Structure formats: C-alpha cells, structure tokens
Structure 1
Amino acid sequence: MRKTFTGLALLLLVCVSASAQQTSISKKVEVLLAKMTLDEKVGQLNQLSGDWEATGPVTKNTGDKLQQVRDGKIGSVLNIMGENHTRTFQDAAMKSRLKIPLLFGQDVIHGYSITFPIPLAEAASWDLPAIERSARIAATEASAAGINWTFAPMVDVARDPRWGRVMEGAGEDTYLGSLIAAARVRGFQGRGIGSTDAVMACVKHFAGYGAAIGGRDYNSVDMSLHALWQTYLPPFKAALDAGAATFMNAFNDLNGTPATGNAYLQRDILKGKWGFKGLVVSDWNSIGEMIPHGYAKDLKQAAETAIKAGNDMDMESRAYIGHLAVLVREGKVPIATVNEAVRRILTKKFELGLFDNPYKFINAAHEKATLNQPKNIEAARDMGRKSIVLLKNEKNLLPLSKDVKTIALIGPLSKEKWYLKGAWSTNVDPNDNVVNIYEGLQNHAPNAKILYAQGCNITDSVATDFKEAVETAQKADVVVMAVGEDIFMTGEARSKANIHIPGVQEDLIKAVVATGKPVVVLLMAGRPMIFNWTAEHAPAIVYTWWLGSQMGNSVADVLFGDYNPSGKLPMTFPRSEGQIPLYYNYMNTGRPATGDNDAFYRSSYLDVPNTPQYAFGFGLSYTTYSYSNISISKTAIRKDETITVSFDLKNTGNVAGEEVAQLYIRDMVAQPLRPVKELKDFAKVKLAPGESKRISFKLDKEKLSFYNDKLEWITQPGDFKVMIGPASNNIKLEKTFQLIN
C-alpha cells in the first residue's frame, strides 16, 4: 500500500510539474508574440535549406541566407550539420532584433555518422527494442552535431514495391507499422525534447503518400475514407500517442486535394480530432507544388491555402515569406491564423531550451566525443544481422563452416562500400569505415582463400559469357554471390516499373549455379525484388537489404552462424509486377481464388498464381520450431472483456534461435468486410535447443474493433478465428471464439 501510494504521489508530482512547465512556456510564448512584428512572425514560418547540401531542387536566388537570419526572416534551416556550420547560423540569429534561435532540421533517417540498416530492413527484425535503440543512437549522434529536429520517422503504409520510398518505412502492415512508428518516436525523442541527446521527431507524410497510384512517387492517391482511417492513419496516431513533436504533410493529393492544402487532414483530423499541439511543416516546396497540381494559380494563393489548411511552416517554397504578410494586410488570412502557427513553433523552441541557451546542441568537443562510439558501432552490427531474412536454405547449406578452404565471392556488390549505406544516409564522413562483404568474409574466415570475380556491372543490359566468374566458382568449395540494386534505385523519386533483379545479374546467377557448386545468393535492395528463377534454383538465398556501416560483418555473422537469422518479411514479395499491389490482409471476394467455387469463374490470373513468391511474415532459421497445445481462455466474451490465447513454442533443432511467433485473426462475418487475416500480435522468443516456452497473447476490444462505413470505431458480435504461426501463409494453430453483446 505504502509503495503504491508513493508511486502515485510521484506520478502526480511529475504531472503537476510538467503542467506548470507548460503553463510557464505558454506565458513566455505570449509575451514574445506580443513583441513581434508581422514580418518577424512570418519569418518564423520560413524554413530554408543551407548551402552545403540539398534534398530537393534548391530555390533559386535566395540571397544571403545569413543576412536573412539576422533580419528575422528565417525561423529554421535544414541540411546544416556539424558544430561549425550550425554555430555560424545560430550566431546570425543572435544578431536579429528579438534573438529568436533557429531550429536545425536534418533527414536523419537511419543513422547519422554511424549508418544503420534502412528502415524497411529494420522492420524485418520485428524487434521493437532494437529499432528504438537504433533511433536512440541516431538521435544521440545528430544532437551532438547541432541538429535538434529529424524528418523521421516515415510511417506511410506501403503496399507497392515499385514505389522507391518503401525503403524508408515499415512495410505493408498497419499493426506492425504502428508499433514501429511509436518505437522510432521514443528512440528519437528519448527522455523528451530538450534533452541534449534527443531530437524532435517529425512524422511523415501526412497522409496517404504510400498509396501513390502506380507506385509512382509524388503521384495522386485515390482511396475511400474508410481505407484511409482503417489502414493508413493508425501509424500516424500511434506516433502522435508516443509524443511526436512535429508532423510533415505529403506531396500527393488525396482524393483531389493536395495534402499540404488539405484542411480535413491537418485541421479536422490532426489538430482537431486528435488534438495535436506540435507544429506541422510542409514537405520540400510542397506549398509551391500546389501550382503544378493545378490547385493554386500562383504562390500567393498557395500560401493562403496552406496556412488556412493548417500548415505551420513552409519548407523551401518561400510562399509564406513572400506573400503571407500581404495576405494578412488584405484581410485574406486572419492574423489569428498566423499567430497560431507561430505559437506552435515558438513553443517547440522553448521546450528545446533554445531561449535559455541557443547553443545548447552546439559543442565541438561533445560532437567529437559522441560520434562513432565503439558500442554504437556494435549496435549497428547487431541491428544489421537482426534485419537479415533467410529465404531459402536447401540441404542446410548455411551456415558455412569457418574451416572452409576456398570461397568464391562473385557479383558487382562484392566489394562495394558506399552503396551498402543505402539511400537517405547522411554521409557525414564519406570515407568512414564501412565494412563490405569481401572484408566481412575475411574477418570471419581468416584462413580461407577468398577468390573474387565481379561478373558484371549492376546495370549491364547485355549478357556476356561470364567466363571469369564461372572459372572462379569452379575453383571454390562454396560460392557467395553479392547482387541486387545500387543505391540510386530506391529512395525518393526512384520508383521502378520493373523490380526484377537489375540488368543481367540473374543471368550471372544462372551461369554460376550451372557449375554445380553450392551457391549462396545475397540479395541487396531497398525494396522487395522479383527473382523467380533464383528462388527456384539457387540452393540458398539471403535477403540482406542495405544494412549500413557494418553490413559486411552483419552478413558474415549470419553466413557463418555466429548469429542465427530471425528476420521476417515486412512486405510481400510478388512473382510478377502484374500482381501489384499484393498484400496478405486482402478482402475475400464472392468468387475466391480457392475454395469450392467453379474452377474457372474465380478471382485469379490466367498466367500466374495469386500467391506471392514470399509472404508477409516469412523468414527461415538455422533451427526448427514446433507450435502446439493451443488453448483459449474463453469461447465467448463480451466486448469489454479480454481473451487469452496460449500455446507452446519449442526449438526442435540443434542450435539456439529466435522465432517471431505471429497471431492473426479473422472476423468471419462483418459489415463492412474484414480481411482474410490481420496481424494483431507477435512475440520474438529466444529458445535454446530443445527448450519450450508457453506463449500467451491477449485480445481485447481494441484489437477486435474496426471502422464502419460511418467511420465509427466499433465492434460487432460474431465469430472470430485465431491463427498462430511463423508467417501469414503458414498457420500452425487455430481456435475460434465468439464475441457477444
């Protein structure tokens, strides 16, 4: 009793203290706001990129940016990194009339100086603490370099691997994506914004960007509001609930209205229904891009539309700085609307502690001491191996013996370094110690002779006889092939209509496999690729994605069995582009592809199966697991009750491993329709050989609810099927229960 009372008292004290601090900040904001001229207010809403690096087309003829800072015409800058550069700009801000400090933003997507796996790869780990730790380390390094705001995490649900930006997110599933979104926000913001080892998270892209038509970047999005609320909005809400400080809107239009000018998204949902108190920033020039969209006739109208819709800060279009003051004076934009946006920005600057110390995040000695710490490099290596997915392992070819005498390393990515970091790496030090595949093999098998042949270039379009590669393979005991995309094939503006392994690389694989030597294919990419011949004929396939600075060591850890692969796919891998979009939680039709219906009149293709090459949640291990003895706490529950599903998970193999056990449900009859299965829980369980654990999952009202046609969050009485297994297409255990009124 005494301990409980003490805990409640401490919690109450913390809440009261936080409330008092927020009240104090609000008062300070109002005092400062009263001193500001209209032009100074507009200046706070203006964000420009620095001169050292750009992530989009730089606005031309912007003039002397440092002088504009001194004049109070810039409230935030992006692409300014390191103590020297950030100090120069903050010095200029301290010479402005009101000395309002700058915010420094940067795309810290998967690491800062140390590069971690691309976000889609990290999602394949299904390891939330590891994902949070990755963001935590990135924030620690970035904040030490003067950055206090990252434009991450990207939480767009993406079901079209042609879209280049799938590499930036968590894949196709709303539930998994929501958990990862929250983990990344917690990692970036740490103990809270204002801590010198934290950065403000910026959740993007609000909203629907991941559903761009045809998988073509920046393209329109046309979807029902039901799909928006059911599938695409939950990860944003999860990030907000985790305390995300800022949001970024999207390039796309949603049902005919550009997201940047979409009041339904920004005012009605985000700031209204969800009560978001942070700031909303446009994407790069997305205010100005409402002109080519055909939604605004000029930059002045675009500025008016964006500010009224709830967009607080203008990134790189100069729409606000050029037109907002005039719009206020003409009575077209209320000063109250401008004040609201400025309040949100000033509040974050106070919460960061920048008014007390504008140089709080700018310290050369701290930067030097923080970057590239050995423990963080090891964490990147660990994150890398957790992200690898073993797709095939015929006759237990893997793991390789460390006593192997000769290894042939073949393929255009065998000795590559820079590409291994993947798109959206900050490249703080282009000459940093990236470990490539060749070096990783050397580190793990120092007594082995490693033969090398490039075989071809990534984008070669004409097959050769691959003579050198074949001869090299014939001399080896085992062949490791490093093939896939290059760094320019995924990321922003890098959509592809053809997502097969690029060039003639699969022909190279065919030539090497034909030697009869045991072949391990490493596939490197930022998206799911199509590789049907390889899937059928290569003895072992390892999907490595892009794993960052420690990629070579992470891959070798898996190849030689120092780490038993545990990754599971966060996106479905299609057999053909014609199947896209292809995802596991689809709605059944009146004429399903399988079942008792007529063999011809069904929802299927004539030339390819409906099934994917590799399903969501799939991933192999060097050991085996059994699922048994499922039990369910009740066969019928009321909507406010919780049901517990339990089962035994056993490691039936000879080595220790981690299994990601997945729980799916199906609402058997519902209006509107529900998917054939939905992920509702999972557990990553470590088991020694022969060890068994009793695993329990809980299902409550929240997990059984969904949006109806009126966008009401409801439950419906009826039968539910519970499915448990190692992948969405490999269900080992089933039970049913009934939800009653």
Structure 2
Amino acid sequence: MRQVFAISKTGMLVTAWLWMAVAACVTAQDAPTQVSALVARMTLPEKVSQLQSGAPAIPRLGIAAYDWWSEGLHGNARDGYATVFPQAIGLASSWDVGLLNQVGTVVSTEARAKFNAVGAGHDHARYQGLSIWSPNINIFRDPRWGRGQETYGEDPYLTGQLAVGFIHGIQGDDPVHLRAIATPKHFVVHSGPESGRHGFDVDVSPHDLEATYLPAFRAAIVEGQAASIMCAYNALHGTPVCADDRLLTTLLRHDWGFKGYVVSDCDAIDDMTQFHYFKPDNAQSSAAAIRAGTDLDCGDAYARLQDAVHQGYVGEPSLDAALTRLFAARQQFGEWGAANDPYATIGMDQVDSSAHRQLALQAALESMVLLKNEHSLLPLQQGMRLAVVGPNADTLETLEANYHGTARAPVTPLLGLRERFGAQQIRYAQGSPIASGVPVPIPETALRTPDGAHAGLTGEYFDTLNFSGAPALTRNDRLIDFDWDHVAPTDSLHASRYAVRWRGELLPPGAGDYTLAVHVDRCFDCAGHDTVRLYVDDRLVIDGRGSDATMPANLHFENTRAHSIRLELVHGGQDQGVRLQWLAPADAQLAEAEAATKQADAVVAFVGLSPDVEGEELKIDVPGFNGGDRTNIGLPASQQALLERVAASGKPLVVVLMSGSAVALNWAKAHADAIVAAWYPGEEGGDAIAQVLAGDYNPGGRLPVTFYHATSDLPPFVSYAMQGRTYRYFTGTPLYPFGYGLSYTHFAYSDLKLSASRLQAGESLQATVTVRNDGKRAGDEVVQVYLDAPDMPSAPRHALAGFRRVHLAAGESRSLRFELTPRLLSQVDAQGGRAVEAGHYQLFAGGAQPGNGDGVAGTFVIVGDQSLPR
C-alpha cells in the first residue's frame, strides 16, 4: 500500500480504479496516513473546491464529485420515493429510543440503497450521498417556532437519548464501515425566530447554556458518537457559532472528544459577512470559520479561501486539517468501495419495502397521544356513522410535513377511516381552511369528472411537453395534491419530463367569492421551473411560470352550478409536485360540515396546522402566522368556528390535532368528548389514526412539549432565557403538561426502591419500580423518572432523569431498573458550572410528571459535592 502512494507522489496520475483499490485494502489504522497523502497531492484551488458542499470531481486524483447535502429527518428525503415516517416531533412522542434506532436504520438503509444504485466511485449529486444532515436536536423552547416540529421536544435529556438512538441507527454498528453519517444540528442555541435567524445574536446565560442548550449535543457526540455536526446560523455573545473556536475546538473536540467534521448551516459563512457584520468580506469570514473548526461550507463562501491564504488570513495547514477529516469520512462510508463493506449489497428493493412501511405504521401508532376521553367515547363503536370534517382530514402535506421523501402510497385520515369503518359509514366535508388567507387543496366533494360519474378530475398524462400524441395514461384523480419530487406520476413517464392535463367540473358549495390557487413546490437552486395553467369555463384564470409558489385567481360564483375546469402542468423543470387549492366562502363550508354532521352518530374533526403555515423561513404573513413562526398559539379562528358549528349538533365530538407543535385547544378541552394529538404522522398516518379511534391499537404516546393556555403565558419569543419556559421552569398551570398522555387501560405503580438513602457525591443511584397494568386490555406505558433537587437557585422544578416505554398485557406487572449517573444527579450554577451538590432529593417514578398522574416517590440524601466536566 505504501508503495502505491510512493509511486503516486512521483507525479503519476492516480486513477479512479487505483483509489478504489487503495480504499479496498486500507486498514482503519492506515486510513489517516493514506488520506493525508491524498490531500498533500492537491493544488490549492483543488483543496478549496473540496471544502464546499458541492465538491466537484478531480479526475487526475480519481476523486468523484460529491455533494455533501443529504437529508433524513424522518425518512430519506428529497430524492424520490422513500419511507416517510412521522415528523420528528411525532417520533419524540413515542418516548421510544429503540424505535428511533429502527427509524434511523431505515433512513440510512434507503439512503445507502440509492447511493449504491449510483455506484461507489461515481459522481453523487445533492441528496444522493451518505452524509445525512439529521437529527435536529435544538431544544423546542417556544411553541411559536415553526421548525420546532423537526425536533424531539423541549427536554434536554429526552432529546439527547432519542438522538443517540437515531444516530446509532443512521451510522450502524460496524466499527470500520458506516452505513451513513449522522449530523446533529444546529449547534448551538438555535430555535427561532425564523425572520431573524441569519443575523441573530443570542445572549444566553451560562446557566441556560449548560443546563438546557448543550446536553443533547453532548449526548449526541459522547454517547452517540456522531461522525459530524452542523454549526448554526446565529451568533453567541457576539461571535457567529461557525467561527467560535471555544465551541468548535475547545468544547467539541477537546472536552467532548469529537473526531468528526463540522459543516456549516447553509450560507452561514456568508451570513457572517452579510448579516452579522463579523468580517468585511467572505475571505476573512471563511478564514475565521475554518480556523475555528468549521471544516465544510454549505454554500460557496469558502470559494474565497484561496484569497484568504494568499492574503495571509489563514494558513494552508488549516485547510489540510479540514480536508483530512472530510476525506476520512468519505472513505469511511465507502465512497470508493471498501473490502468487506457490509452495506455494499443493499439494493433498491429496500426502498419503501413492506417491512419499512410496517415500521412507519408502528411509528405512527406509537406517536399518538390521547389527551382527553370523556365518558370513554373512544374507542368508537363499530357501526357508528361518522362525520369526518376539517382541513387536515384529506391532505398529503399534513402527512409528509417538511424535510421529507416522497410517499409512494400515502394514507390520509379520510382514506384510513373509510377503510377501517366502511366508506358507507363516512360523511365528509372539508369545513374550513387552515387559517384566513391560506388556501387548502380543493376537496373531492367539489370536483367531478367530465362524465359526472366520479369525484375528482380526469387526468391525461403525456410523455411530451406539448400534450401531443395520445396520453401515456388516463386516470381519475380524486383530488390534485401530489408530491412528485424526483419521481414520475406513473412508471410509463420519465421523472424529468412530462405534461398532465386534468379536466372536469368544479362544484361550488355555495354562492360567493372564491380564490383558486395552483401551488407548485418550487425546487431550490435549480435550472428551471414548471409551467401551470388553470382554465375555468374555458377562460384562462392562472398562467403561472417562474418562481412564484402559489398563484391565485379571485372568482365570484352566483350559485352552485357546476363550472368546467381544466388544469395543465408542464414538467420541464425540477419542481416537485402540484396542488389545486382554494379558499371557499366560510358560510358555505360550514353549512356542508353541518349537513354531514346531521347524517352521523359522531363527528371526527381533523384540525391544527400545516407545513404551509409553520416551517422554515416561509413566505407567509396572515393573522397568527409570520415567516413560518406563529404569533398566536391558539387554534386559528376559521377552525375554531368549524368545531363550534359541528358541536352545536350535540353529537359526540372527537378532535384530532394534526400539527408540528403545541396548539392551545382550550375550547376543545372544555367541550370536545375526546382529543388525540396525531402530529404529522407520515405515510401510514391515516391507518394509524383509524386504528387508534377504532380501538385496534391502544394509544401510549406522551407529550414531548408543554401545551400552554395562551401566547400570553410565554416570555418574549426573542428571549432565549429559560425562566418561564418548558415544564422545567414554567410555574403556571399548563393546558396539558409535558409527559402527559392517556390510555384505554390503567397502570399502577408500587415498590420504588433506591440503592441508597445516603449517596456520596460522584456515585450513581439505582432505582427500581414496579408498574402494573390493572386495566382490562393490553397497552403501552411510558414510565417516567423525575428528579426534584433541593431548593437551589436556577434548579428546574422537575428534571426528567429516566424513561422507558413498556408493553404490558392486562394484569401484567414488570419491575424496571433505572440508573441515575452523577451527571443526571447534577445541578448547574449561575456561572455554568456543573456539579453534584449535597442536599435532600426526591425521586418520582410514574406515568407523568409529579402531581399529574399515578406514581410513587422516594427520598435520598447526597453527601458532599463533586464538580463534573463540561
């Protein structure tokens, strides 16, 4: 092996096959030497090119092009069909580390299948790689943050343990080969507001930094052994995080022993110049970032590193150190092929396989949280006629959420309920939009095929861009709400080139003013966009092309007469799907919902939020929402009106909340008979919801966030101080507390035993507790262990210190053991120092926080004090 590189250094070209041969026989011990030798052969321009996320090929060195940007938040994302799991906040509601490990395994398996399909040693474009920028483990400190849906909730310990499970699943358990690389993000102290994220300077206290914002990242690195990490947009005390060597070198590499590479959030280095005004140009910003420890730039600011070297802002050895880490990672996941690679044979048959779909269903089931069940309305009785209402009952986007793959056969709640209860038992009405001014897909009830025989529109699918020739496929589409990111509408078409014409009739539910819209999910940073045209009564009302995401047309209908409608989509660009949407008159939609209710024995209302109103840096400014964040945490007024209208019938009301964050359901808590939090539940979400409502599955999920009564309960959104936030520091009465969740059975606790009543500081504490299912049916219980510290300044009210999800048959008991390490027993002082401190402590074990459910408590004393490392 050394001879191969000795020959290479004489100037002979290293071809692709030679580099593959090197990678195939190199040992783990030799890898750093071989990578360093490769880096030493690069010219300065070549080095600079490889430090940017879209790294080009270097043919003379046998280096293929590789784009480092891949996503896998809750499924392999943005690269065609994949298993779509519940959004991360839903996965967190499972409180199941093993489940997160299984989900991570599927994410990386499907990513590996697509990587292998391209082939080791070949160019891999964006989203085709094995460097997966997930999980998002920022603390969901405030429900107004639109990206909180991507996180594991508000608790540092829960977040950290779920992250460790997910990271282990992503990376696999082979000590030499990685199935993929996990990238926890965004390091650190990043959780909105979205509108100011590119230049926000966080002035957080040393206590809050150590007690709340760092622990999950520490767990991801120290316990999870994540091979990379992403630095955040924001600054911390005036220094942009991606240029903060105290965080990236001292804390991350020295204190935590991190051996991997650091990647910037996208364009964060340029933000240092443009928004933080940290340096006057990108040459100096790039120099500061790479010196601090940011190895890879997601963006093109590092293109100025060549100038930075020439002008003396940074030395070439700093570039070499970063490149060595990056190429070591590329070698470790087998980009050039490797001997005995256990993942080399993973094929495309693994993508969205039946086993993976079954896991998606299990994940959705485990994510369901039963918040209310008055008079045991749930499970619903077989044979009941159901009115299904609400804007989230039949939409794809509220299944997939954001950062998602394309679901091959998604099941909406409406479809799931029809399948489980029988279509003849279901009456459906959309009832309202998500919020004022936010269009939603036109429902099947307002669309009819040209022959009048079916709900929906008839679609003609062409393999040309000008609708010439006979259609390759003609079919009836129930509604126009499609995600076609990197996939074709049908196997007979090519994913990059097709045209579709839908025809039929629009059936207005009442007279009034309507807004019709065509929403196209526009591709980011791509060559071209799709064209759409909408005709009503043969009049062109929307002629959309370019970059506008939603193109509206305002129309007035005098009555409920049917109107001909035609929608044309020409897919010649790289856009990702299409939705035919509307805003209909409120009175007409409410009347439809009321009519459906009259024909039913009970009402199931699907309300909440959607990725159109909460998410990353959205272009939205309507009442209650701004830029992807919320300004009001209550249920939007249009949906509140719908609930009150259907409840007026006196029929039993089940509210199913679909959202990525907590919603203040005050009216529903007081008036609805049952409430289920279903989050954004993934491709099998409709089946999971139906199984829970029917009683085929006993819900056992728990809230990973606090549900507050009102926005006024919260401190200012721009403040990162934790006082008054989350269950740990909120002193008010929540609507629903963190850790809360009901079941169709009941669990009892007994026999809490502690390993010691007096504990020397620095020792671990063992606790055992017995949990028994004393109800009449099997179910899952989430056993939660909370530590209450002595009355110390800044100590949390309660601190989660252990949890376990267990399945128990009716009458079954189980004894569970928890170990509380010194770190779990420690406290953080005002200066950010962490120590185990003397005093009297209480430990509580139960199905919820102390005071919110059944459980048992015990006390112990810690003697002495012991400081802990960061």
Q: Is the 8 A contact 2:184 2:229 kept in 1?
A: yes
User: Which amino acid letter does the alignment assign opposite residue 134 of structure 2?
Assistant: A
Match for residue 300 of structure 1? Answer: 283
Q: 2:602 aligns with which of 453, 475, 478?
A: 478
Match for residue 336 of structure 1? Answer: 317
Kindly tell me: are residues 640 and 286 of structure 1, through their superposed partners in 2, closer, same or farther at Cα, counting changes over 3 Å? closer
Q: How many angstroms does 1:711 deviate by? A: 4.1
1-structure distance, mates of 2:688, 2:668: 23
Match for residue 70 of structure 2? Answer: 106
Match for residue 615 of structure 1? Answer: 737
2-structure distance, mates of 1:361, 1:696: 35
Q: 1:546 aligns with which of 680, 685, 701?
A: 680
Q: TM-score, normalised by structure 1?
A: 0.83
2-structure distance, mates of 1:314, 1:215: 22
Q: 2:108 aligns with which of 117, 133, 139?
A: 139
> Pairwise CA RMSD of aligned residues?
2.4
User: Which amino acid letter does the alignment assign opposite residue 395 of structure 2?
Assistant: E
1-structure distance, mates of 2:309, 2:859: 61
Q: How many angstroms does 1:433 deviate by? A: 0.7
Q: How many angstroms does 1:723 deviate by? A: 1.7
2-structure distance, mates of 1:618, 1:264: 38
1:355 aligns with 2:336: yes
Q: Is the 8 A contact 1:163 1:216 kept in 2?
A: no
Match for residue 760 of structure 2? Answer: 638
1:237 aligns with 2:218: yes
Match for residue 281 of structure 1? Answer: 263
Q: How many angstroms does 1:208 deviate by? A: 0.7
- Alpha-carbon displacement from aligned partner over 1:677-727 (angstroms, at most 9, x marks no partner): 101011222222222223333334232123344544321111101122222
Kindly tell me: are residues 587 and 501 of structure 1, through their superposed partners in 2, closer, same or farther at Cα, counting changes over 3 Å? closer
Match for residue 97 of structure 2? Answer: 128
2-structure distance, mates of 1:169, 1:350: 30
1:278-427 → structure 2 map (5 Å cutoff): 278-291=260-273, 292-316=275-299, 318-321=300-303, 323-356=304-337, 367-401=347-381, 403-427=382-406
- Aligned to 1:489, the other structure's residue is in SS state coil
Q: How many angstroms does 1:153 deviate by? A: 0.8
1-structure distance, mates of 2:641, 2:83: 35
2-structure distance, mates of 1:444, 1:222: 52
1:22 aligns with 2:28: yes
1-structure distance, mates of 2:162, 2:295: 26
Q: 2:228 aligns with which of 219, 229, 246?
A: 246
- Aligned to 1:281, the other structure's residue is in SS state strand
User: Which amino acid letter does the alignment assign opposite residue 822 of structure 2?
Assistant: K
1-structure distance, mates of 2:101, 2:342: 22
User: Which amino acid letter does the alignment assign opposite residue 71 of structure 2?
Assistant: D
Q: How many angstroms does 1:195 deviate by? A: 4.8
Q: 1:36 aligns with which of 33, 38, 42?
A: 42
2-structure distance, mates of 1:193, 1:38: 33
- Alpha-carbon displacement from aligned partner over 1:128-157 (angstroms, at most 9, x marks no partner): 111111111111111211221110011111
User: Which amino acid letter does the alignment assign opposite residue 656 of structure 1?
Assistant: A
Q: How many angstroms does 1:570 deviate by? A: 0.3
2-structure distance, mates of 1:383, 1:469: 31
1:226 aligns with 2:207: yes
Farther off after superposition, 384-393 or 460-469: 460-469
Kindly tell me: are residues 126 and 255 of structure 1, through their superposed partners in 2, closer, same or farther at Cα, counting changes over 3 Å? same
Match for residue 820 of structure 2? Answer: 699
Kindly tell me: are residues 117 and 447 of structure 1, through their superposed partners in 2, closer, same or farther at Cα, counting changes over 3 Å? closer
Kindly tell me: are residues 412 and 585 of structure 1, through their superposed partners in 2, closer, same or farther at Cα, counting changes over 3 Å? closer
User: Which amino acid letter does the alignment assign opposite residue 286 of structure 2?
Assistant: A
2-structure distance, mates of 1:247, 1:368: 28
Q: 2:652 aligns with which of 518, 522, 544?
A: 518
Q: How many angstroms does 1:633 deviate by? A: 3.5
- Alpha-carbon displacement from aligned partner over 1:505-529 (angstroms, at most 9, x marks no partner): 0110011111110111111101111
Q: How many angstroms does 1:382 deviate by? A: 0.6
User: Which amino acid letter does the alignment assign opposite residue 467 of structure 1?
Assistant: A
Match for residue 597 of structure 1? Answer: none
Q: Is the 8 A contact 1:404 1:477 kept in 2?
A: no
Structure 2: stretches of 5+ with no match in the other structure: 1-25, 77-81, 116-128, 438-584, 618-627, 716-723, 865-870
Number of residues of Structure 1 aligned to a counterpart in Structure 2: 649
- Counting aligned pairs with the same residue, the percent is 33
1-structure distance, mates of 2:808, 2:725: 30
1:270 aligns with 2:392: no
Kindly tell me: are residues 738 and 687 of structure 1, through their superposed partners in 2, closer, same or farther at Cα, counting changes over 3 Å? same
1:47 aligns with 2:53: yes
User: Which amino acid letter does the alignment assign opposite residue 350 of structure 1?
Assistant: Q
User: Which amino acid letter does the alignment assign opposite residue 724 of structure 1?
Assistant: A
Match for residue 455 of structure 1? Answer: 431
User: Which amino acid letter does the alignment assign opposite residue 320 of structure 1?
Assistant: Y
1:446 aligns with 2:422: yes
2-structure distance, mates of 1:611, 1:478: 31
Q: How many angstroms does 1:263 deviate by? A: 1.7
Q: How many angstroms does 1:193 deviate by? A: 8.1
Q: Is the 8 A contact 1:148 1:361 kept in 2?
A: no
2-structure distance, mates of 1:709, 1:410: 51
Q: 1:735 aligns with which of 834, 858, 870?
A: 858
Q: Is the 8 A contact 1:584 1:615 kept in 2?
A: no
Match for residue 675 of structure 1? Answer: 796
Match for residue 749 of structure 2? Answer: 627
More strand by share: 2
Match for residue 191 of structure 1? Answer: 173
2-structure distance, mates of 1:676, 1:520: 33
Q: Is the 8 A contact 2:785 2:846 kept in 1?
A: yes
- Aligned to 1:288, the other structure's residue is in SS state helix
Match for residue 715 of structure 1? Answer: 836
User: Which amino acid letter does the alignment assign opposite residue 455 of structure 1?
Assistant: G
1:533 aligns with 2:667: yes
1-structure distance, mates of 2:648, 2:249: 61
